[in-house]
Chains A and B, each alone.
Chain A
Amino acid sequence: MHPDRAPPIAGDAEDHVASVLARLPHLLDSDPRLVARGRFLSADCLIGTQAQAVHLRIVEGRIVGLETGPRLMASWHFAYRATPEAWTAFWQPLPKPGWHDLLALTKRGAARLEGQLHPFIANLQYFKDLLALPRGEARP
């Protein structure tokens, strides 16, 4: 995404990604082992697409706040934003190679990881598993 372009406008594809991400608190609450693995993690993250990202507040492994943007003067530690195509591919029950992993997506340029990366890297498997939770859901 060229930095000088006007910010993209959220369309149906971006809205769909945001609506899937909005289910993460519920999905995470159903996975107490994953919550336990994040018990030392508290972070604010921006997750979604370039045009429409969701602010996640995690405290001790649990999502305590989720807001769909834009939020005025919001702070976040790190942002992970991918194309709607990338999220769709990533959330397939059995994703294709190269679309199966958060860092496979950044590697192919379909996602961007920005900001203060320490909480992301220090809890990498937690974040990989958290953002893959929608894979287990039945297709609507």
Chain B
Amino acid sequence: MQYIPNILFTIALVVGIGYFTINIRKIIRNIKLGQKVDASNNTGQRWSNVVRIALGQSKMVVRPIPGLLHLIVYVGFVIINIEVLEIIIDGIFGTHRILSTVMPTGLYNFLIASFEVLAFLVLVGVILFWTRRNIQKLKRFWANEMKGWPKNDGNFILYFEMVLMVLFLTMNAADQSLQELGAAHYAEAGSFPISQFIAPLFNGLSEGTLIAIERGAWWLHILGILVFLNYLYFSKHLHILLAFPNVYFGKVVPKGKFKNLDSVTNEVKMMMDPNVDPFAAPAEGTTEAPAKFGASDVMDLSRIQLLNAYTCTECGRCTSECPANITGKKLSPRKIMMDTRDRLEEIGKNINKNGEFKPDGKQLLDDYITREELWACTTCNACVEACPVSIDPLSIIMDMRQYLVMEQSAAPTELNVAMTNIENNGAPWPYNQMDRLNWKDEN
């Protein structure tokens, strides 16, 4: 009988991690629906980006207030995980504060004390985040694409974190009271700079009640963590894991360098080669359909772009710096990323149901992202610069424009005129190329 808690705990752990693994596999499968892309270059630069941008949060602190708050929550999250390790070992083996028995008392006390301080700071940080969203109502959290689920999602995450931190501190406070009472199984361990202020609330409670509070908080805390882990897949919060690979795969060439379409290069080279045989039959083995130009659905995008979509945590820094969005146009780079993920998830569910993708008569273009949004972009790279985790919404906009122009000839009329001019006169305006040097003799 005495092993029942251990068994229950192990089952909870296996189920929690198992379900999460299943969902992570779905994410990987969905990302692999995208086009392969070679990112084997610039490994040095890529790792340095991971250290600076992802680990070092260098782009978060560009905006000092949310940057600092985020830094606290981030550091808190990473360090408090050491405590989760102890909780897991205790849970499986029925021990109590196992680490205190294997490390020097001073070190253990220091660790527990720092977890407490961090937990408190995280709590304060999360409460401030909540007020920024809900009281201060920062514009970027109240944009059109943030209605409904995305708005609730943002708040749920904050509530989760608040509850987890409160449970952690309550658990410590009850533990501390039990240690003072000299309860069996609660050997003196740890130093409690924060929860010592909660402990007086428990004065006068019986040992049984205290144990109930301590065990209750302990169980709710670890179960909460497992639930939160599984909540990630359904929320925007995946960035806590995906930010790292995403930054690694981020752009490592100048922002102004847009990708070259090799399929086009081959055709243009052939077109310009006077020796090419116009009636040549395709070479043996090249029976595959010619590549589609640009993107109309998520499968046409690259795997990095799809990883971008799962990584986006909808902070809206991109949109708040987008010149089109600032001046009231429909374009919002954040919405481009959210739409891409929503469509990818829709396709993922389709595959879950049918075993393979059954065409559903929908696509990313028009059903999610409208042409009006795509044509409002000035390609200024402000969104790319603003993203704290190296997401590139502009590349998706460009791929979709390529589809519109090269597959559908559906550019806005004025752009068609400009492009015809470029083709005929070598300039986007209807001037004769022979007049190019006229400025020389004008005054």
A and B bind: no
Q: Write the residues of chain A forming the contact surface with B, with a CB cutoff of 8 angstroms.
A: none
